Amino acid sequence: MATKSRWETNEEIQYFREYLRIPSVHPDPDYEPCVEFLKLQAKLLDLPIQVHYPANDRNPAVILTWQGKEPSLPAIFLHSHMDVVPVFPENWSHPPFAADIDEEGRIFARGAQDMKCVGMQYLGAIRALKKSGAKFKRTIHISFIADEEMGGRFGMRPFVHTAEFKSLNVGFSLDEGLASPSEEFPVFFAERSVWRIYFQISGTAGHGSLLLKNTAGEKLHYIVNKMMGMREQELQKLENNPEFTIGDVTTINLTRLGGGVQSNVVPPSLMVCFDVRLAIDVDQKEFENQLHRWCKDVGGGIELEYEQKRPRVAPTPTDKKNPFWVAFKSATDELNLKISKQIFAGGTDSRYIREVGIPALGFSPMNNTPVLLHDHDEFIKADTYLRGIEIYKKIIAKLAEV
């Protein structure tokens, strides 16, 4: 009980739990309590704060700034998002926005891993560095933004193109990674391109008792077989190479089917949708040409529509040519952290940051921790959280002196 009391009275743990208790949850998040909380944090840290609204008046981008000794140098951008995914409270052993701590020091809350922990660990590290009297060459911006969980439509995607973002003079960005159940810490230097593809298929309509030619159903069968055949090839690549993670291959999943009139009518149209994440070595033009060839080969009458069609974005270099990577690696080496360079399987705001030519790494200091983002009973251990602050102290200090 004494140990639990130690966690419950720790200043940084209390700030973290307070942030977790703000239900900035989809489908209709209210970010104003987050903004007010961050304004208080900025006051406690004696840092200026800006609140921008890049797309509308409901989705803020909050920036705290610690000015460096040489403010003309490109700045360090410590990025996080405020929104969290929906919860199903009946499947949780603790209320999902109570931030309860159990006897093992596990803090249960939606956002405990994804990614309110990282945003508050940045602030914890900045607090400790300021108290120590540290000053750095480069300016440090700490970013809290809306709408990442919905693809950044009203958040980072428009924000990187605003005058307000450009005025921050960002030279390097640190963003979220993933928890790791092993001793290793994954570090993400690239992301696959998200394509959500709808095949709108037209064909001969008629009575269900006939064997009509060129029906939408026949074309659907052909397209599904081709896409699932490609999926099987990627699965084999993944299984045959022990060094590959899911981010190294293209994933293809059938996610929606639609159409039909009634059970005895051959329909004039059908729809099938695939969620595709293109590996960074895929020739995107050739991939799209292949889709069009399949549509033509099966008789035409198929239109392609894209809900998302993200371009290939160059990976962040992880060699000596990138001084920010050298600084990051120097910090993790000095801390004796075992890191693993990976391509992120999902999508984060880093894709938009890299897209405008800014190097970015994804990193969450949570090893020996089950991966529970978007899951029931999401938690992080208090000691893991506090160690993460110490890790960020070293990393931020190195990056800000590049």
Q: Tell me the mean pLDDT in the region 361-370.
A: 98
**What span, in angstroms and rounded, lies between the C-alpha atoms of 359 and 351?**
10
The answer to whether residues 180 and 235 belong to one domain is no
Which tokens belong to 268? 């004039």
In the listed set 309, 328, 352, which residue is the last one of a domain according to the structure? 309
Are the CB atoms for 321 and 312 separated by under 8 Å? no
pLDDT band at 228 (very low <50, low <70, confident <90, very high): very high
320: enclosing H helix or E strand:
none
CA nearest 145: which of 173, 185, 179, 171?
173
Which tokens belong to 243? 């060094």
Q: Taking the CA atoms of the chain, what radius of gyration do you get in angstroms?
A: 24
Give how many domains the chain has, as a whole number. Answer: 2
The answer to whether residues 178 and 240 belong to one domain is no
The answer to whether residues 85 and 95 belong to one domain is yes
The answer to whether residues 177 and 206 belong to one domain is no
- Find tokens 């693993």 and name the residue: 340
pTM of the model as a whole:
0.92
Amino acid letter for position 246 = I
Q: What is the pLDDT of residues 127-185, one digit of tens each?
A: 999 999 999 999 999 999 999 999 999 999 999 999 999 999 999 999 999 999 999 99
Are the CB atoms for 199 and 302 separated by under 8 Å? yes
| Sheet bearing 269-278, strands edge to edge | 251-259, 269-278, 193-202, 302-309
Kindly state the percentage of the chain with pLDDT values over 70: 99
Question: What's the confidence (pLDDT) of residue 3?
Answer: 66
CA distances from 138 to 73, 75, 121, 235, 282 (A): 6, 6, 19, 44, 37
CA distances from 12 to 9, 84, 189, 385, 388 (A): 9, 21, 29, 9, 11
- Which CATH number goes with the domain that contains 127? 3.40.630.10
DSSP state at residue 269: E
Question: What's the confidence (pLDDT) of residue 346?
Answer: 86
HSE of 182 in the Cβ direction (CA atoms, 13 Å)?
Answer: 7
The answer to whether residues 299 and 378 belong to one domain is no
The answer to whether residues 153 and 24 belong to one domain is yes
Question: What's the confidence (pLDDT) of residue 6?
Answer: 82
Query: Does the structure show a pLDDT above 50 at 5?
Result: yes
Question: What's the confidence (pLDDT) of residue 334?
Answer: 98
Question: What's the confidence (pLDDT) of residue 65?
Answer: 98
Which tokens belong to 365? 């200091």
**What span, in angstroms and rounded, lies between the C-alpha atoms of 211 and 15?**
68
Q: Tell me the mean pLDDT in the region 367-389.
A: 97
The answer to whether residues 21 and 92 belong to one domain is yes
Question: What's the confidence (pLDDT) of residue 32?
Answer: 98
Q: What is the pLDDT of residues 110-129, one digit of tens each?
A: 999 999 999 999 999 999 99
Residue 45's φ and ψ, nearest 5 degrees, are -90, -5
CA distances from 376 to 86, 112, 177, 387 (A): 10, 11, 19, 24
Spatial CB neighbours of 203, under 8 Å, sequence gap ≥ 6: 214, 215, 216, 217, 218, 219, 266, 267, 268, 269, 270, 301
Helix and strand counts by DSSP (H, E) for the chain: 11, 17
CA nearest 66: which of 128, 142, 125?
142
Amino acid letter for position 138 = R
- Find tokens 């080496």 and name the residue: 333
Q: Tell me the mean pLDDT in the region 189-207.
A: 97
- Which CATH number goes with the domain that contains 273? 3.30.70.360
C-beta atoms surrounding 199 within 10 Å? 21
Host domain of residue 327: 2-191+315-399
Helix (H, G, I), strand (E, B) or coil at 312: coil
Distance of CA 218 to the CA centre of its chain: 38
The answer to whether residues 17 and 159 belong to one domain is yes
301: enclosing H helix or E strand:
none
Distance of CA 28 to the CA centre of its chain: 19
Amino acid letter for position 297 = D
Q: What is the pLDDT of residues 271-305, one digit of tens each?
A: 999 999 999 999 999 999 999 999 999 999 999 99
Query: Does the structure show a pLDDT above 80 at 44?
Result: yes
The answer to whether residues 350 and 389 belong to one domain is yes
Query: Does the structure show a pLDDT above 60 at 2?
Result: no
* Catalytic residue list: 83, 148
Question: What's the confidence (pLDDT) of residue 330?
Answer: 98
Query: Does the structure show a pLDDT above 60 at 1?
Result: no
CA nearest 370: which of 242, 178, 87?
178
The answer to whether residues 224 and 176 belong to one domain is no
pLDDT band at 8 (very low <50, low <70, confident <90, very high): confident
DSSP E strands, 212-268 = 251-259, 265-266
The answer to whether residues 9 and 73 belong to one domain is yes
Burial class (CB within 10 angstroms; exposed 0-12, middle 13-18, buried 19+) of 166: exposed
Query: Does the structure show a pLDDT above 70 at 323?
Result: yes
Kindly state the percentage of the chain with pLDDT values over 90: 97
Distance of CA 101 to the CA centre of its chain: 26
CA distances from 348 to 156, 175, 301, 374, 379 (A): 10, 8, 36, 14, 20
The answer to whether residues 105 and 225 belong to one domain is no
